[in-house]
Structure 1
Amino acid sequence: MRTAVVVGAGIGGLAAAGGLARTGWQVTLLEREDRVRSDGTALVLWPNGLRALRALGLGEGLDAIATAVAHTGVRRPDGQWLVQPRPQPGERAPVVVHREDLHDALIAGLGEQVEIRTGVSVRGLRPVSGDRPAVTTGRGAIEADLVVAADGTQSVLRPVLAPGSTVISSGCAAWRAVVPWYRAPQLPPEQISGEVLGAGYRFVSASLGERGSAGGSSRGGIYWVATAVGASRPESPATQLTLLRRWFAGWPSPVGELLAATEPGDVVQQEVRDLRPLPRAYGFPAGPGGVVLLGDAAHTMPHHLGQGACLAFEDAATLCALVRDAVPGPQLTAAIETYSRLRRPRAVAMARQTRRVAAVLQARGRLALRARNATLGTISPRLMGRVAATAAQWNPPPP
């Protein structure tokens, strides 16, 4: 039987492991934490990410956990419109899903041919010249026909495969939380979703399910993301929340109401990072098989476009389609090379678009802000339209 080792049980690793298992691979999924878990926030999935999940056989049930995100425009901190709400003709709305709901769906899709091993720290790759690739751990080596490096931004395997790529700070940090419905009963539905853009600060919110759909559960409510220039904060969550309330004081509804309804335990801080340069290849044939980079291990980039999870699902769907019928030997090595040829240009294009948007979102200084505010209403729809078009162009390769 064909064997695969997937390193990392984040959403990309789970998607890849389940997709491989459903096409006849025997999969070992390695996770360094003591259990496979998700945080209590949410994420946005664009049409390309949804298309990838459906290609992986995970479309069933998505509608039950996903909420469409309305096109709400962009406002300044004083409430004035920078970009009026005006959805583009034919534009498909992204959706927001609770990470725990998505995590449960991915776990349910693993099947019986996935062996999960937790508490396993992968240390590197065994020399693979002429042999099957193998990952090394404190307990020995685990060989497989295919190794999937889905071990995230701080990947242990990427430096072995792409030593020239380095993770750097993007110059900002982000905070995420889900506020349960019962804590924000006063917010009118039309004020829940929105985006406000200030001098180096950004606040985005979206409805997660319908009011009352999850009662007091953590899986329904209002999802928000706050971004601020500068490094991540070392203080306690309570102090970080106090800082957020100070930084965003006076911003239009629902910013103040959501921060007031947030508790320290809800907040998840994330340093926003960038991988530069991107690896020159994402597939590395070795012996009868090889190694591939997937998700943040392949293309960590800032979250400004909300494409991180979507690209990881694209990677998984592409890989699974290419190796569906490949047997170890020339077929599998050719599939790994094709994966690299398809995925790297895609990642490069999205990274380029992300940096262009970052330059707009992170403008600071009076002159820079004045220029941005004067042109954002013209530039943003055009730029975001190109970004949406770039994302929408992706389709999974035929099986």
Structure 2
Amino acid sequence: MTRAVVIGGGIGGLTAAVALERAGWTVTVFEQAPSIAPVGSGLAIAPNALKALDTIGVGDEVRKLSAVQGEAGIRRPDGRWLSRTSAEEAWARYGDPIVLLLRSALVDLLTVRLSPGSLHVNTRVESIDPKSGRVTTSAGVVDADLVVAADGIRSSTRKALFPGHPEPVYAGVTSWRLVVRSSEPVRAAETWGRGLVFGVMPLTDDQVYCYATAVAAPGERAADEKAELTRLFGGWHRPIPGLLADTDPAVVLRHDLYSMDTPLPAFHRGMAALLGDAAHAMTPHLGQGACQAIEDAVVLGHHATRGGLAAYTADRLARTTRIVRRSRAVGRLTRWSNPLAVPVRDTVMLLAGRLGPNVAFRQFDDVFGWRPPA
């Protein structure tokens, strides 16, 4: 039986581990953190990623645990809708809607599918040899037939496989994330202001996942991040002020956004393969970061015992490069702050929205309409 080592216990790494085990591999997962409990945040799973999760038997359970993104769209800070879509239209077009759940819920669903003893936390991978498959960790040495690097945006494995390749670059905006309970019904929406974005995603059990972005210098931080959010967004439309008022300051997370603007020449070298942020870090403006990591994982699971790693690169490199660039382009639009340019941007979105939801969805056909390999 062939043996795989997965570096990283995030969504991409865990999905790859499950996919490989289902394909007959013996898998060991190394995670350097003391646990794989993810930070408190929500997650949007688009139709393409749901189809990928179906291939490893997780899709239906994700659907059961998730809230369906119903009517959604883009709004102005005064609450006026610029564009709108609905779950019914997504369902009809792609066979699934976008569903929303806690990131921890998906991690739990994946973890319970791993073989007992295959997950090792608090274990740091110190080096790999892509030619031999030898992995040196803080707990010892393991020999593998396949090494899967899902070790994130600052991947040390990527640096070892492709030394000198440009690192992800700062996208010019910082982001906040939080989960809060709401006493009133909330509809999914993303609100665009002048260099500012605030997103609202209703989850199950009256929970709401909120995210925000703002133009900022890299590394810039506030003494009180909740107060900073209130300063920036407290005057926007309902329910944003109320959600911020109800937020526990301790749950507010802040991170700068980075993008892999220079694509790698390949997603593999020797016996090692990269996936997720390690391979193609992207901004969150298309909601495809985790979704593309899930796609990577099931495609790798398919090709690892069939077409090999070159086939994996061939399937994934061009697709993820396009999505990275599109997400980056949308992110640049959200950064606009010129008082003359922003109304023009909003008017274009408003006019496009009046043409109907099919116009909006058509732009996502190549993303949401993806199907996993047979």
Corresponding residue for 2:325? 352
1:19–1:57 Cα contact (<8 Å) kept: no
Given the alignment, which residue of 266, 276, 300 partners 1:295?
276
Corresponding residue for 1:234? 221
Bigger shift: residues 57-66 or 78-87: 78-87
Corresponding residue for 1:307? 288
Q: In 2, Cα distance between the equivalents of 1:302 and 1:384?
A: 20
Q: CA deviation at 1:207?
A: 1.4
Corresponding residue for 1:224? 210
Secondary structure of 2:211 counterpart: strand
Matched, 1:116 2:148: no
Corresponding residue for 1:248? 233
107 and 85 in structure 1: CA distance in 2 versus 1, 3 angstrom threshold: closer
Corresponding residue for 1:336? 309
Q: CA deviation at 1:313?
A: 0.6
Matched, 1:170 2:171: yes
Q: CA deviation at 1:136?
A: 2.6
Bigger shift: residues 86-95 or 159-168: 86-95
Q: In 2, Cα distance between the equivalents of 1:306 and 1:232?
A: 23
Secondary structure of 1:61 counterpart: helix
Secondary structure of 1:297 counterpart: helix
* Counterparts of residues 316-335 of structure 1 (less than 5 Å): 316-323=297-304, 326=305, 334-335=307-308
TM-score normalised by L of structure 2: 0.91
Letter in 2 for 1:177: L
Q: In 2, Cα distance between the equivalents of 1:73 and 1:276?
A: 27
Q: CA deviation at 1:18?
A: 1.5
383 and 346 in structure 1: CA distance in 2 versus 1, 3 angstrom threshold: farther
Matched, 1:193 2:180: no
Q: CA deviation at 1:85?
A: 5.1
Matched, 1:395 2:371: yes
126 and 85 in structure 1: CA distance in 2 versus 1, 3 angstrom threshold: closer
Secondary structure of 2:71 counterpart: coil
Q: In 2, Cα distance between the equivalents of 1:58 and 1:86?
A: 24
Tell me how large the CA RMSD over aligned residues is: 2.0
Corresponding residue for 1:271? 256
Cα deviation per residue 1:281-313 (whole Å; 9 max; x = unaligned)?
0122x3xxx111011101100001110110011
Cα deviation per residue 1:132-157 (whole Å; 9 max; x = unaligned)?
22223345432200000000111010
Cα deviation per residue 1:174-230 (whole Å; 9 max; x = unaligned)?
1111112xxx32x2x2x443221100111111211154xxxxxxxxx1111111111
Q: Structure 1, unaligned stretches of length 5 or more?
A: 212-220
Cα deviation per residue 1:49-106 (whole Å; 9 max; x = unaligned)?
1111111221242222111112323221122332255675734431101112111101
Matched, 1:205 2:186: no
Letter in 2 for 1:125: I
Secondary structure of 1:102 counterpart: helix
Cα deviation per residue 1:108-164 (whole Å; 9 max; x = unaligned)?
11123x622222222232262xxx222233454322000000001110100122231
Q: In 2, Cα distance between the equivalents of 1:266 and 1:42?
A: 12
* Counterparts of residues 6-155 of structure 1 (less than 5 Å): 6-84=6-84, 88=89, 90-91=92-93, 92-112=96-116, 115-126=118-129, 128=131, 132-155=132-155
1:159–1:165 Cα contact (<8 Å) kept: no
Q: In 2, Cα distance between the equivalents of 1:193 and 1:232?
A: 29
107 and 140 in structure 1: CA distance in 2 versus 1, 3 angstrom threshold: closer
Corresponding residue for 2:339? 366
2:73–2:188 Cα contact (<8 Å) kept: no
1:232–1:269 Cα contact (<8 Å) kept: no
2:47–2:369 Cα contact (<8 Å) kept: no
Secondary structure of 1:365 counterpart: coil
Q: In 2, Cα distance between the equivalents of 1:73 and 1:37?
A: 31
Q: CA deviation at 1:33?
A: 0.9
Q: Structure 2, unaligned stretches of length 5 or more?
A: none
Letter in 1 for 2:26: Q
- Count of residues in Structure 1 that have an aligned counterpart in Structure 2: 365
Q: CA deviation at 1:383?
A: 7.7
Q: In 2, Cα distance between the equivalents of 1:199 and 1:141?
A: 52
374 and 63 in structure 1: CA distance in 2 versus 1, 3 angstrom threshold: closer
Q: In 2, Cα distance between the equivalents of 1:127 and 1:223?
A: 40
Q: In 2, Cα distance between the equivalents of 1:173 and 1:383?
A: 30
1:172–1:232 Cα contact (<8 Å) kept: no
TM-score normalised by L of structure 1: 0.86
Secondary structure of 1:271 counterpart: strand
Cα deviation per residue 1:240-261 (whole Å; 9 max; x = unaligned)?
1101001012100011010001
Q: In 2, Cα distance between the equivalents of 1:222 and 1:375?
A: 29
